Amino acid sequence: MTKATYKDAGVDLALYDDAIERIQKLAARTYSPRVRKLEDGFAGLFDLDFANRLFSRHYKHPVLVSCTDGVGTKLKLATMAGVNDTVGIDLVAMSVNDCICLGAEPLFFLDYVAMSHDDPPLLESIVRGVTNGCLEADCALLGGETAIMPDLYARGDYDLAGFCVGVVEERRIIDGSGIVPGDLVVGVASSGLHSNGYSLVRKIVFEMAGLKVTDEVEELRPPARQKELPLDPPPTVGQVLLTPTRIYARPLRKVLSHYKVKAVVHGLAHITGGGLADNLVRILPETCCAVVKRGSWDVPSVFPWLKRLGNVDQDEMERVFNMGIGFVLVVSDFFAESIRHQLADDNLASWIIGRIEEGEKAVRLDS
């Protein structure tokens, strides 16, 4: 009688050990002095404060902030293009950008990778992206889980989930309750599609337009950086659609730490699925209306390209995509330009895109 083995069932424990070793080396890149060493532990240890007096936070009433998210069907693009080292950045971004909305400092990140079969090089590529995102967000990849599930996923497919824990001093929590009429709405540029609406993107690009990930898109060619320089080659479909989600944690923490006494930033919103209106309204008080002016910011060319390819209604575009605004700050009008200058110092474009008015809780998009 043939003996059954785990390897025959689709899980190779030797390969799994190889994968874990690769991950541990990558995760170590993200460790700060607050990460405690714990060889072969079942969980991670993280000091809430620094032991080093130079970097200590001196929390009086720290409040923990937690959030979780995934990457969605953008993963299908990664597997189609064979480019798997950027979606980990998306994974980190989708959670740490939510964490900063409360004014919190992202402390550490956990990832969950579910795969069809053991593939250490693929897993290493995915986690390299996660660690790159963690480094950009100044948080540690403290732990995670890799699940090998043959028959549940088609061979070569994988799924990702991420979990972020942050901390904020109670008196510095930003929950939108400080928003008042007269505040200005500052929109911060996205890097493109981020990680939302990819079911519609894939339908438009591959089903309706019949494009391939390797096709070049002439109308999305970036302009020449200088007149005397030749134009860059047009990007491929894969390059455009796999542009990672922008991580806003570090520049926004600089802005928040700049104003130590005055309550200058009254609300923060991460613009994800649901677009500008559905996300901004979440932080508004019941007596405040945000009036946002269309055309007050630069819309990346990927959005009109998709709109044309799919003959998509404008309302549908604005409901599904960020349309070029990846993050919003609602701020005291006196400090708006100062905040924009600080964002520009971190190479983040921003615009005054609206104003808070007295009225029923809503976001109104005006032409």
Mean of all residue pLDDT scores within the chain: 93
Residue 240 backbone dihedrals phi, psi, to 5 degrees: -65, -45
The structure's pTM equals 0.93
- Alpha-carbon distance 332 to 179, whole Å? 8
Is residue 273 within 8 Å of 201, Cβ to Cβ? no
- Alpha-carbon distance 186 to 85, whole Å? 31
pLDDT digits (tens, 9 = 90+) for 223-277: 766 566 667 789 999 999 999 999 999 999 999 999 876 689 999 999 999 999 9
pLDDT digits (tens, 9 = 90+) for 126-146: 999 999 999 999 999 999 999
Q: Write down the pLDDT at residue 39.
A: 77
Which domains are present in the chain?
Answer: 13-172 (3.30.1330.10), 184-366 (3.90.650.10)
Q: Write down the pLDDT at residue 334.
A: 95
- Alpha-carbon distance 261 to 83, whole Å? 45
Q: What is the 3-state secondary structure (H, E, C) of 8-73?
A: CCCCCHHHHHHHHHHHHHHHHCCCCCCEECCCCCCCCEECCCCCCHHHCCCCCCEEEEEEEEECCC
- Alpha-carbon distance 298 to 301, whole Å? 9
pLDDT digits (tens, 9 = 90+) for 334-346: 999 999 999 999 9
Q: Write down the pLDDT at residue 40.
A: 76
- Alpha-carbon distance 111 to 123, whole Å? 12
Q: Write down the pLDDT at residue 57.
A: 84
- Residue segments in the chain with a per-residue pLDDT below the cut of 70: 1, 224-230, 261-262
